[in-house]
Amino acid sequence: MAAGIYKVGQGYWVRVMTATMIGVITLAAAAWMWSQMARLHERLPKVTWTVVVDSVPTSAAVGQTVTLLAKETGGKIGASIGTGVITQSTGKSIGLKDMNMTDRLTDATSAGAVEFAGGAAGAAPVRTLVTSTPRGLPVIEVGLLQGLVAGLVILIGAVIGYYATAVHQRFVDFLISTDGEMKKVNWSTVRDIRMSTTVVIFAAFMLAGSLFVVDFAFQWFFRAIGVLV
């Protein structure tokens, strides 16, 4: 038994076409899951945030806790909505993790300013405005998530296709029987198909012409007796 295939060589084309159909369905399912994972990715919990501000004070350092302030109507800065720990500082952009929001329904996207602790002991906090909507990064990159899920779907489809067309004895016997019945079919020749097609086309034109003549005759008759104007 080659590679565990049941009844090797029997019902070849039916088994191949069945495996092909399973493959097409699997690829379609993988493509659908790929698009769905892009949507799911937006709903995943955000573990880190990138916040762009007017300026990053010199006192900012990795590991420092900062306070996020709410953006209210009219551009005013409101009360604290949570805190975060700086993971990186590049130019006017800072990365935050370990977000501790004061409201379950509030995330960093509603932040209008960031408040940093003063550089020296007792120094006043430094506040800087957020210049664009903070962007959260989920626990997994979207491309990696899509690749893993699509790959899993393809793997499952491949296993099902192989099991159905090569291992499962009852289903393979059914495919082999189907192949045997297909060989008993008396397939039409090219000449027969050409002649049948010609007859069908000719009959269609004849029927259309007959209906046109009958329709025209009825119109003439009803106009003659004054029913149609």
Question: What share of residues in the chain are helix, strand, coil (percent, to 5)?
Answer: 50, 25, 25
Specify whether 123 is located in the same domain as 50: yes
Specify whether 134 is located in the same domain as 55: yes
Structural domain containing residue 163: 2-40+142-183
Cβ contact 38:150 at 8 Å: no
What's the angle, vertex CA 43, arms to CA 38 and CA 49, rounded to 5?
A: 100
Please indicate, yes or no, whether the overall pTM of this predicted structure exceeds 0.85: no
Specify whether 96 is located in the same domain as 169: no
Specify whether 76 is located in the same domain as 128: yes
Mean pLDDT of 18-42: 94
Tokens 């899509």 -> residue:
146
Report pLDDT for 74.
Answer: 73
The total domain count for the chain is 3
Specify whether 108 is located in the same domain as 81: yes
Q: How far is the C-alpha of 148 from the C-alpha of 157, rounded, in Å? A: 14
The model's pLDDT over 159-210, given as tens digits with 9 standing for 90+, comes to 999 999 999 999 999 999 999 988 888 888 899 999 999 999 999 999 999 9
Specify whether 77 is located in the same domain as 29: no
Report pLDDT for 3.
Answer: 62
